């Protein structure tokens, strides 16, 4: 049982310590989305092996599971901006305007003096 949970967690289809399980299609959807959106939407950075990019669900999948696999609901962000822009510095929260705020911050970064 514990080995199966760890295997599912490594595949990205189940949380390790509870929570809402993901669709078995999630790893493939994530891979395709990341290939098309390979940079953080806030800072433009790309991921590394030790700091991979995150895919944020604009509407969390535990609130609307039917949106989990839709690319319109996904946003590529680095870990730092996932926490700051998408979750407003609290993993218990989520930003309903994450996509708009990511664009706003991206524009500020590009146009900084």
**pLDDT string in tens for the chain (113-residue length):** 566 656 655 655 555 445 567 889 999 999 999 999 999 999 999 999 999 999 999 999 889 999 999 999 999 999 999 999 999 999 999 999 999 999 999 999 999 99
Query: What three-state secondary structure class fits 54?
Result: strand
pTM score, whole prediction? 0.79
Instruction: List Cα–Cα distances, 96 to 53, 57, 61, 101, in angstroms.
Output: 20, 10, 13, 9
Give the phi and the psi of residue 54 in degrees, each rounded to 5.
Answer: -105, 150
């Amino acid at each position: 049982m514990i080995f199966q949970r760890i295997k599912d967690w490594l595949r990205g289809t189940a949380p390790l310590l509870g929570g809402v399980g993901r669709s078995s299609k999630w790893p493939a959807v994530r891979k395709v989305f990341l290939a098309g959106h390979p940079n953080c939407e806030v800072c433009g950075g790309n991921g590394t092996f030790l700091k991979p990019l995150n895919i944020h669900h604009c509407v969390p999948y535990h609130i609307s599971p039917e949106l989990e696999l839709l690319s319109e609901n996904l946003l590529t962000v680095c870990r730092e901006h996932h926490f700051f822009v998408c979750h407003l510095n609290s993993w218990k929260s989520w930003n309903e305007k994450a996509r708009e705020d990511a664009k706003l911050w991206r524009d500020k970064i590009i146009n900084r003096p």
